[in-house]
């Protein structure tokens, strides 16, 4: 039982490049979400999903796309990276609405 697995752990992108941050969980959790963490800002919700085929926007969705084709995977796509997207990204999953989210170990992304 690996929990929530995020890859890669570190990534450097050039402005305008695209990439996908991977997130997978093996706990059969229906609820998954993506956050970015910036100094002094806490964590902010980017996108979330309540099950396969269902996604919705969070607080800061611009510049990011998601899809949920399986229960296990919830990738986050950066369409055209910008320096403002330099951040630490966390994926999380939960079994239902009253349980806490389990977080992955994060991806540190730098856009130059």
Partner 1 sequence: AQSVSQHNHHVILSEAASLELGCNYSYGGTVNLFWYVQYPGQHLQLLLKYFSGDPLVKGIKGFEAEFIKSKFSFNLRKPSVQWSDTAEYFCAVRGGADGLTFGKGTHLIIQP
Residues in touch with partner 1 (CB under 8 A): 31, 33, 35, 40-45, 48, 50, 56, 58-59, 90, 92, 97-106
Alpha-helical (H) ranges within 1-107 are none
Q: Which is nearer to partner 1, 15 or 56 (CB)?
A: 56
Which three-class secondary structure state does DSSP give residue 13? Answer: strand
Least Å distance, CB 17 to partner 1, is: 25
Q: Which is nearer to partner 1, 17 or 58 (CB)?
A: 58
Peptide bond into 49 cis (omega under 30): no
Least Å distance, CB 14 to partner 1, is: 26
In this structure, what token pair is assigned to residue 105?
């170990």
Q: Which is nearer to partner 1, 61 or 63 (CB)?
A: 61
Pairwise CA distance, residues 63 & 57, whole Å: 11
């Amino acid at each position: 039982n690996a929990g929530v697995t995020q890859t890669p752990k570190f990534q450097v992108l050039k402005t305008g490049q695209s990439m996908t941050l991977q997130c997978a969980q093996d706990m059969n959790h229906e609820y998954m979400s993506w956050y970015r963490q910036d100094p002094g800002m806490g964590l902010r919700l980017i996108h979330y999903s309540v099950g396969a085929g269902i996604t919705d926007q969070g607080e800061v969705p611009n510049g990011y796309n998601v899809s949920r084709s399986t229960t296990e995977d919830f990738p986050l796509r950066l369409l055209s990276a910008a320096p403002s997207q330099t951040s630490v990204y966390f994926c999380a999953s939960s079994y239902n609405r009253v349980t806490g989210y389990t977080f992955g170990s994060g991806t540190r992304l730098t856009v130059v």
